[in-house]
Amino acid sequence: MTEPAQTQIPHLDNLFGAPVIYFDAVPTIGMRGPVLTAVLALHIGEPTTSTQVSDHVVAVANLRFTLETAAQFRDLLDKMLLAAAKTPGQAN
């Protein structure tokens, strides 16, 4: 039996210097020619009085990508969702 082929991990410059982007909303998406766009946003609770909070949305990133990159990103998200899915039985 042969060992499965190892996937070569590409070298990434600035891996630890790249920003971490947290978002909980994608309020707008679009397409202009072959380029897809999406705005990533975050809901922020801002105190308005000592007992009330007003929710507003802040844009944190503008994504621009090709159809090919969108397909790669979709595959990546599918794998991440699969890895995070609950499994039957007791937790590992």
pLDDT at site 25: 95
pLDDT at site 3: 64
The candidate with the shortest Cα–Cα distance to 59, out of 43, 36, 70, is 43
Distance CA 74, CA 43 (A): 24
CB–CB of 23/41 below 8 Å? yes
Q: What is the pTM of this model?
A: 0.71
pLDDT at site 9: 79
pLDDT at site 37: 97
- The number of CA neighbours under 13 Å toward the Cβ of 83 is 6
pLDDT at site 4: 63
Residues of the chain with pLDDT under 70: 1-5, 91-92
The candidate with the shortest Cα–Cα distance to 40, out of 55, 66, 59, is 59
pLDDT at site 24: 95
Distance CA 1, CA 10 (A): 27
